[in-house]
Amino acid sequence: MQALGFDLGWIDIREWWNAMVAFAGPRWAPSFGALVLAGVTYFVIRSVLRRAEKRWAARTETKLDDYAVRALRTTLLLSVVAWALWRLCIIWFLPGEGGQIPRPAEWVVALWLGLVFFPVSKFVAVLLRAVESQVLDRSGGTLDKTALPLINWIVRFLVISLGVILALSHLGVDITPILGGAGVMGLALSLAAKDTLSNLIAGVLLILDRPFQVGDRIELWTAPNETGTWGDVIEIGLRATKVRNPDNLVVVVPNNEIMQRDIINYTMSGEDIRLRIPFSVAYESDLERAKELLVQAASQVKGVQLTPTPFVIVRGFGPSEVNLQLRVWIHEARSRRKISDEITEKALAAFAAEGVEIPYPKRELYIRGTAGPEGVGEVGGGGVGDP
């Protein structure tokens, strides 16, 4: 052994071997017993819970008990493996000062605390989906397609964070500086991304307040020129909302801008809405006949409700016209522009056939005459060069 650079004799090797045997000898049997016990427990738990899942959980209508059995099986099997590792660390590693549990065993417990919350968080997410599908649907309410994944993600994050905090606390790690550093970093990020955060907060408020849903028809404020000023909501995101207008253009509106304006929702209260269509007739026209023609024109258009009956009111007077307003209820809010166009077209034809004059700007000129030397009225004044 001197050729390797150190002096090691057979006596030293034998002493080390004897020390190793003396150290490991009394630990082999407890280790083997712990592994056998953990292995038997592992296979028993897996067999029993698989049989329970097939014979009991699979026969029920809901899938919630299936996920509960799977989560319980994963948690128990993980606990059995963690117990076996913990027991081996207790057996093979020397205890700390005052007979404390060895540090590797503490690491195993901390690792178990962190991992066991993953199947728990998955089951909580499944539970939330089950609540939404079985309870809210039966009661007539629904969660938005964006709100439910957001809630699930937040809840799973909180559950996993709880496991990490418990694991660090078990190891004696002070999490106060970590939380303080996270707070300072969060403040810096919030200042750097103020607009993005305001849109995110507005998106959460939209999801909670629900002024509109996917599929609703709302009014647009920033539509491109010469395009439709309304559209159907196709996606409600955390940062922005996407609306498709009648020209098949998708307008992406930041959520913060939506929350600062009046939201006009045409379909939130149902498909039935009332239209107010303005008309004008000349002062010389038969007002009652004009009202009858407007009601008849509206009654001939498909989609107009006959109950309540359409009616016309006088809104006011203009320089050369009487302002009327036709009020009708329609069955489908999405067809309001089409129905309004058809009513206006039929009313124009009816006015032309019945002689109801549609006013246009008129100006009447009155010329006042002046008496001349012979008492003859002269018009206006003279031309150029007249005395």
pLDDT of residue 244 exceeding 70: yes
Question: Coil, helix or strand for 230?
Answer: strand
Core vs surface per residue 215-224: b (16+ CB within 10 A) or e:
ebbbebeebe
pLDDT digits (tens, 9 = 90+) for 338-368: 999 999 999 999 999 998 888 877 677 778 7
Distance of alpha carbon 134 from the chain centroid: 20
pLDDT of residue 195 exceeding 80: no
pLDDT of residue 379 exceeding 50: no
pLDDT of residue 4 exceeding 50: no
| Higher-scoring residue by pLDDT: 10, 377 | 10
pLDDT of residue 1 exceeding 70: no
Predicted confidence band of residue 94 (pLDDT cuts 50, 70, 90): low
pLDDT of residue 104: 82
Q: Residue 330: what are its φ and ψ, rounded to 5°?
A: -120, 160
Average pLDDT over all residues of the chain: 78
Tokens 């190891």, located at residue = 171
d(C-alpha 55, C-alpha 59), whole Å: 7
pLDDT digits (tens, 9 = 90+) for 206-220: 777 788 888 888 888
Average pLDDT over residues 106-124: 86
d(C-alpha 371, C-alpha 56), whole Å: 116
- How much is the pTM? 0.49
pLDDT of residue 6 exceeding 60: no
pLDDT digits (tens, 9 = 90+) for 136-184: 554 344 445 555 666 777 788 888 888 888 888 777 777 777 777 777 7
Predicted confidence band of residue 58 (pLDDT cuts 50, 70, 90): low
Burial class (CB in 10 A: 0-12, 13-18, 19+), 14: exposed
DSSP characters over 238-281: SSEEEEE-TTSPEEEEEHHHHHTS---BSSTT-S-EEEEEEEEE
The rounded percent of the chain whose pLDDT value lies above 70 is 76
